[in-house]
Structure 1
Amino acid sequence: MTVLTRRALNRALLHRQLLLRRWKLSPARAIERLAGLQAQATNPPYYALWTRLEGFRRDQLTRLLTDRRVVRIALMRSTLHMVTADDCLAFRPTLQSVLDLSYARSVHSRHVQGIDLDDLAKFARDLIEADPMTNADLGRALSDRWPDRDVTALLNAVRTKLAVVQLPPRGVWGVGGQPTGTTAETWLGRSLAPISPDDLVLRYLAAFGPAGVIDTQTWSGLTRLREVFDRLRPRLRTFTDESGTELFDLPDARRPHPDTPAPVRFLPEFDNSLLSYADRTRIIATEHKPHVFTVNGIIRGTVLVDGFVAATWKLAPDALTVTPLVPLKERDDVEAEAHRLAAFADAEVPIRVLAKPAT
């Protein structure tokens, strides 16, 4: 069986995630190809498309949101993602067990014991489908109905049981305010249409392969996917990584040569390229993870040099600061890309590339 080195896996990831060059794709097509964008914060999806697409403008994504062609909804790993309307309707019901399990394991679940969650979901559905509601307004309505229960627990139960999308202007660059939600079915005017687990795995491999069973489970939050891979095995190519883990991929998928040049790229906070594998060494060295994955759940923006995480970055009102994790061999390219990022964000701030690696 063919062994894929860490660099081979890195170049495959960069290609699938549109990071070996800037592509001439529509933002909607890119979001579909990437199997969604992590969207826990407002601006990261905009940066994610800027770093991947040629000539991307912020208004292009804003228009997709307001035209209901993409939506923000809890999906993989029970976290907010930005996906196309079609993928929202397909992914959400298939991932219901992920949201159920996440809620059952949360501190909130014990505060709704004794409540019929189907009744709770129907009560909330009737309200938010009649008129989209902010969390505050829905929380008050739920508290009136269940006055002795924790409102946050009730709201999270609704988010678990219903396919609730966050409506614009939430998620629009530079716009704040409380989340306002309604069901995906109402917002998009169509019913949920679940994708099969087999097809969901194939979508993952198209966006992130080659990958193993545990990698796929890490990305999706689903469990017991070994039987899915066993069914798909005749349709897939198999490899191993350098540690002997079996990996799967689509038979015709491109896997660039390990020596393929990789340009400097700035990834936003929470980028799925870092979050979608159990073994993340194909993009970030183990010793660098504590500088990127923080104890309070933030995944910092990162800079890829030669395809691997080499620095973190942060745009603040006074500067765009790059903090190296290793000596930067391509410092001029990093500075140039930082200037382009600042221009994209309309941020007239100095660029600071620190001299020493973070310790």
Structure 2
Amino acid sequence: MITARELNRATLARQLLLQRHAMPALRAVEQLVGLQAQAPFPPYFGLWSRLEGFRPEELAGLLTGREVVRIVLMRGTVHLVSAADCLTLRPMTQPLLTKYLHTAYSTKLAGLDLAAVVEAGREALTDGPLTAAKLGTLLAGRFPGTIAADLAQVMRMLAPLVQVPPRAVWGKAGQTAYATAESWLGRELHPSPSLEDLVVRYLAAFGPATVADVQAWSGLTGLREVVERLRPRLVELDRGLFDLPDAPRPGPDVDAPVRLLAPFDNVLLSHADRTRIISDEHRKRVITINGQVLGTVLVDGFVQGVWKRDKRVVSVEMFEPVSPGRAQEIRDEAARLLAFAEPGKDGEVTGI
């Protein structure tokens, strides 16, 4: 029997949240199987909350050096992943992206030769990265009677398009422009990536977990058969939870320090049952009706509040009162966040 606190501590250990680690950012990105990245800068805060001495210039250098990329992957959302993971994860997640396109755009795309659109889009990108608007406009000129935005979405879902710098480079600004993963990275997608390896990596980053958890994280279905093939290599705990035999499972009394998690942090989004870290009641206050996921405050390993930053001010809203000692821990962590985001400048923590 594994208790809720034991499940919480095991997940936090895999997520590098029980202590800050002296680990290169690239290694952490791969350990976490990427960071969700709809917005440009949450991954920087996601790594700050996990790594000792992390500076934004490290991740910015990985982006400009093409060692990490931003691309649509799990759950049909933008993730920041290593170049190597991009080449394996994109072909594995392609079935869900194809299904989404056909479900959401079936009427708009009826009768359209999608393979021809992708071929024309790839050709258009050979001269260099393009914004979605420019790419869609070019394709609309090739396919009369179509809508540019729809054609751009076809490319985004059916072709492995990475978002290129300066988008998401710390201290820079720029429109979202796309290149194919193959041209940007100078390598081809993996021809036959292993779903078994995907499940093992998920358990290493998010376990212990059920089949439903793996499917919720990846967006893929039919993974029970994959888990069954892996069963000899796994341990089964209870309630359908599987795990790697040697993965860390700390005791329930292990200390979990206060952490300010980034907006869209994957630890909140990667299980079918998320109560290991956030209650159903609190989840309604963290994930907004328009799909935003707020920055959250972990106290004793569980989400107990949210935070926002406006330049040099961090505003904290706790869902329930906390002790004076905990309040001071939260203020100290918020001050560290400000020192990371605005080094050498005075800041303010409000709301607690």
When normalised by structure 2's length, the TM-score is 0.96
Give the Å deviation of 1:318.
6.5
Structure 1 residues 147 and 177: CA distance shift in structure 2, 3 A: farther
Aligned to 2:240: 246
Aligned to 2:58: 60
Gaps of 5+ in 2: none
Q: Distance in 2 between matches of 1:163 and 1:126?
A: 14
Aligned to 1:145: 142
**Superposed CA RMSD:** 1.2
1:50-104 Cα deviation digits (max 9, x unpaired): 0100000000000000000000000000100000000000110011101112222
Report runs of 4+ in structure 1 exceeding 3 Å deviation.
none
1:39-118 matches, cutoff 5 A = 39-106=37-104, 108-118=105-115
1:264-275 matches, cutoff 5 A = 264-275=258-269
User: Is residue 38–residue 270 contact of structure 1 (8 Å, CA) maintained in 2?
Assistant: yes
Give the Å deviation of 1:200.
0.6
Give the Å deviation of 1:150.
1.9
1:215-261 Cα deviation digits (max 9, x unpaired): 00000000011111111111100011xxxx30111111111111100
When normalised by structure 1's length, the TM-score is 0.94
Q: Does 141-150 or 28-37 show the bigger shift?
A: 141-150
Letter in 1 for 2:335: H
1:290-329 matches, cutoff 5 A = 290-317=284-311, 319-329=313-323
Letter in 1 for 2:19: R
User: Is residue 109–residue 153 contact of structure 1 (8 Å, CA) maintained in 2?
Assistant: no
Give the Å deviation of 1:350.
1.6
User: Is residue 19–residue 257 contact of structure 2 (8 Å, CA) maintained in 1?
Assistant: yes
Gaps of 5+ in 1: 355-359
Q: 2:132 aligns with which of 132, 135, 139?
A: 135
1:297-336 Cα deviation digits (max 9, x unpaired): 0010001000000110000146210000122231000000
Percent identical pairs in the alignment equals 51
Q: 1:173 aligns with which of 170, 173, 177?
A: 170
The DSSP-based 3-state class of the residue aligned with 1:187 is: helix
Q: Distance in 1 between matches of 2:350 and 2:26?
A: 33
Letter in 2 for 1:264: V
User: Is residue 133–residue 148 contact of structure 2 (8 Å, CA) maintained in 1?
Assistant: no
Q: Distance in 2 between matches of 1:294 and 1:325?
A: 15
Q: Distance in 2 between matches of 1:328 and 1:129?
A: 56
Structure 1 residues 283 and 160: CA distance shift in structure 2, 3 A: same
Letter in 2 for 1:345: A
User: Is residue 305–residue 317 contact of structure 2 (8 Å, CA) maintained in 1?
Assistant: yes
User: Is residue 67–residue 83 contact of structure 2 (8 Å, CA) maintained in 1?
Assistant: yes
Q: Distance in 1 between matches of 2:39 and 2:106?
A: 25
Q: 1:214 aligns with which of 200, 212, 215?
A: 212
Give the Å deviation of 1:157.
0.7
The DSSP-based 3-state class of the residue aligned with 1:246 is: coil
